[in-house]
Amino acid sequence: MSHADFTPFQVEQFLSELEHGVVFNFSESGVHPMSLQGLVDLAGIDTAVLMQTMLDYPQVNGKQSLRDTIAGFYPGATADAVMITVGATEANTLVTNTLLRPGDNVVCFRPTYAQISGNAQNRGNEVRWVNLIESNGWALDQDALNNAVDDKTRIIHVVNPNNPTGQVISDQDRAAIIAAAARAGAWIVTDEVYAGTEREGDAETPSFWGSYDKVLIVNSMSKAYGLPGLRLGWLVGPEDIITQSWRRHEYASIATSMLSMELADIALAEPTRSKLKARARQLIRTGFDVLTEELDRHPGVYDVVPPQASAMSFVRFDLPVSSEDLAARLLQEKDILVIPGSRFGVEGHLRFSSALPEDHLRKGLALLNEVTADILARS
């Protein structure tokens, strides 16, 4: 493959080039992160014990007790079905590289977090896009799914709850995905990093684990637990695939850090795990209410299918400007960062994150409303 064929990770490139130093960062996908002190207080950590952590190479596939705990989240799984990775990001890359062979295709939904698709394209594999339908609550176009999947389909990639829409896959769409995968003998790779961030109730989004034999689950500490700086994720699946991914993990990173494994082990133990998820949900619920209240100040301009989960809202706007130009204007004039819908392949939208301290959120949204008023006055 020549250099020119390389597909950058559009969303992450946008964030990594722009997010540092911005005043109103409404582009994050998780909740406002916790400090180490916050975690120490919440979990009642004995810092003297924590200070004894050896800054050594950890067990490469992940600390045993951490893998035991995570295996407990997936009925029937043992610690050997779990590998600890550097965030969900590494898990996504390992799983793509482990599963894909030349000539395989990958089926992805649009809009979504386009990491597996980008990895697949960069390996020279075909990516087939299936649209999610906004007017139908971002439900799946099942006919398009059935047309896209064939006997060369190796992976159907599911992000549930989804980024950027925050929607949870319905039972009917879930059944259609499983039926399509079974027909083709494809793997379902499910990124479940937003499970636990439900906005409307406390019932957690059910995992795809156990619903089909060829399922691989990706998850991490970054979203529902508010600890993205740990850079710790996991991959769960059949042991042979986990072992093959482990061989790739040795090339990619060797392991995440010892300290991250210690802290994740503490964070995932009850009652800390439930407390962290409760914190995330509280931030998400308040933040969404503030967001919609502020966006409603210009009736008919902004509209959103309310996200069922996650800190994100994929907001449609009716303004005579492209999503890239609107995002650029907000950044230049008001120091507000939001992600243009074009980065997800969907024009006329902005992705907002609103699980932030309320005062800060309101200040930034008031500035956004000034830009909105100016565009409306000139059009």
Ligand X SMILES: Cc1ncc(COP(=O)(O)O)c(C=O)c1O
Question: 24 or 109, CB closer to ligand X?
Answer: 109
Question: 180 or 339, CB closer to ligand X?
Answer: 339
Question: 62 or 228, CB closer to ligand X?
Answer: 228
Residue 228 found at the interface with ligand X (CB under 6 A) = yes
Residue 263 found at the interface with ligand X (CB under 6 A) = no
Cα(35)–Cα(40) distance, rounded to whole angstroms?
9
Q: Is 332 helix (H, G, I), strand (E, B) or coil?
A: helix
User: Smallest distance, Å, CB 5 to ligand X?
Assistant: 24
Question: 163 or 165, CB closer to ligand X?
Answer: 163
State which of residues 220, 245, 323, 354 lies at the interface with ligand X (CB under 6 A). Answer: 220
Alpha helices in 109-217 (DSSP H): 115-122, 142-148, 171-184
Q: Using CB atoms, what's the residue nearest to ligand X?
A: 87
User: Smallest distance, Å, CB 27 to ligand X?
Assistant: 10
Q: Is the dihedral of CA 315, 319, 325, 329 positive or negative?
A: negative
Cα(163)–Cα(310) distance, rounded to whole angstroms?
8
Question: 61 or 162, CB closer to ligand X?
Answer: 162
- For residues 30 to 69, the per-residue mask of contacts with ligand X, x marking binding by CB under 6 A and - elsewhere, is ----------------------------------------
- For residues 305 to 344, the per-residue mask of contacts with ligand X, x marking binding by CB under 6 A and - elsewhere, is ----------------------------------------
Residue 291 found at the interface with ligand X (CB under 6 A) = no
Question: 180 or 312, CB closer to ligand X?
Answer: 312
In the chain, at which residue ranges do the beta strands (DSSP E only) sit?
24-25, 82-85, 105-110, 126-133, 139-140, 153-159, 187-191, 215-220, 233-236, 302-304, 312-317, 336-337, 339-340, 349-353
Residue burial 324-362, b: 16+ Cβ < 10 Å; e: rest = eebbeebbeebebbbbbbbbbebebbbbbbbbbeeeebe
Question: 184 or 199, CB closer to ligand X?
Answer: 199
Question: 160 or 342, CB closer to ligand X?
Answer: 160
Q: Is 199 helix (H, G, I), strand (E, B) or coil?
A: coil
* Partners of 105 in the β-ladder: 126, 153
Contact between 130 and 148 under an 8 Å Cβ cutoff? The reply is yes
User: Smallest distance, Å, CB 164 to ligand X?
Assistant: 8
Residue 192 found at the interface with ligand X (CB under 6 A) = no
- For residues 68 to 107, the per-residue mask of contacts with ligand X, x marking binding by CB under 6 A and - elsewhere, is -------------------xxx------------------
Count of residues that interact with ligand X, criterion CB under 6 A: 13
DSSP code at position 38: H
Residue 125 found at the interface with ligand X (CB under 6 A) = no
DSSP code at position 198: B
Tokens of 350: 């902005």
User: Smallest distance, Å, CB 30 to ligand X?
Assistant: 7
User: Smallest distance, Å, CB 102 to ligand X?
Assistant: 26
Question: 88 or 337, CB closer to ligand X?
Answer: 88
User: Smallest distance, Å, CB 143 to ligand X?
Assistant: 25
Residue 159 found at the interface with ligand X (CB under 6 A) = yes
Contact between 193 and 220 under an 8 Å Cβ cutoff? The reply is yes
State which of residues 9, 24, 113, 317 lies at the interface with ligand X (CB under 6 A). Answer: 113
Residue 233 found at the interface with ligand X (CB under 6 A) = yes
Strands 339-340 and 126-133, by their bridges, are unpaired
Q: Count other C-beta atoms under 10 Å from residue 168's C-beta.
A: 24
Backbone angles phi, psi at 91, to 5 degrees: -60, -45
User: Smallest distance, Å, CB 173 to ligand X?
Assistant: 17
Tokens of 177: 């995905």
User: Smallest distance, Å, CB 166 to ligand X?
Assistant: 11
Q: Name residue, tokens 């710790």.
A: 232
Question: 301 or 337, CB closer to ligand X?
Answer: 337
Which residue type sits at 342?
S
Please give the residue ranges that form the binding site for ligand X (CB under 6 A).
Answer: 29, 87-89, 113, 159, 163, 191, 193, 220, 222, 228, 233
